[in-house]
Amino acid sequence: MDWKIIEITKSYEMEAKALILDGFLERFGFIDHHLNPDLNHIYEHYCIDGSVFLIGLLHNELVCTGALTKEAEGTGRIQRMSVIRTLRGKGLAKRMLKALEQKAVDLQYSKLVLETNRNWESAVKLYTSNGYSLEEEESQFVHLYKML
């Protein structure tokens, strides 16, 4: 399989945005562009100290995304995890998550946090099966963490 994970480049910025928004449309049935201003400038927003935006390429086609941002000293936040619909269930999200965790180690984070919609059972299962624990539960979201 011609598969690789790389840091995003300007040339993949619009494709990454489209993939993430397609996932939102599928999950929510609508897109509120005001809630996602970071997607208008992915490269600039995520390519700063302590942050990284990764993309997964299959035969040079963008098929998944994931980001890591600095939450606090020693703590990173996993964000923008998305996999193209036709390739879900093939382990791409797990590979992306492992790549983000390695970046977190490289950046000397000792803890990772994330939140996801509590109704997104596949996402919750992905994280809990990869060592993330429940930190807090809200009506719509679950907050998870993992010590590295």
CATH for 15: 3.40.630.30
Distance of alpha carbon 103 from alpha carbon 98, whole angstroms: 9
Q: Helix, strand, or coil here: 44?
A: helix
pLDDT value at 100 more than 80: yes
pLDDT value of residue 78: 98
* Range 46-66 average pLDDT: 94
The pTM is what? 0.93
Six-digit token string for 34: 């005001």
The count of domains in the chain is 1
Structural domain span for residue 61: 3-147
C-alpha to C-alpha distances, 115 to 3, 49, 124, nearest whole angstrom: 27, 22, 9
pLDDT bucket at 32, cuts 50 / 70 / 90: confident
pLDDT value at 33 more than 80: no
Mean pLDDT estimate for the chain: 94
Six-digit token string for 5: 């994970």
Per the CB < 8 A criterion, the answer to whether 66 and 97 are in contact is: yes
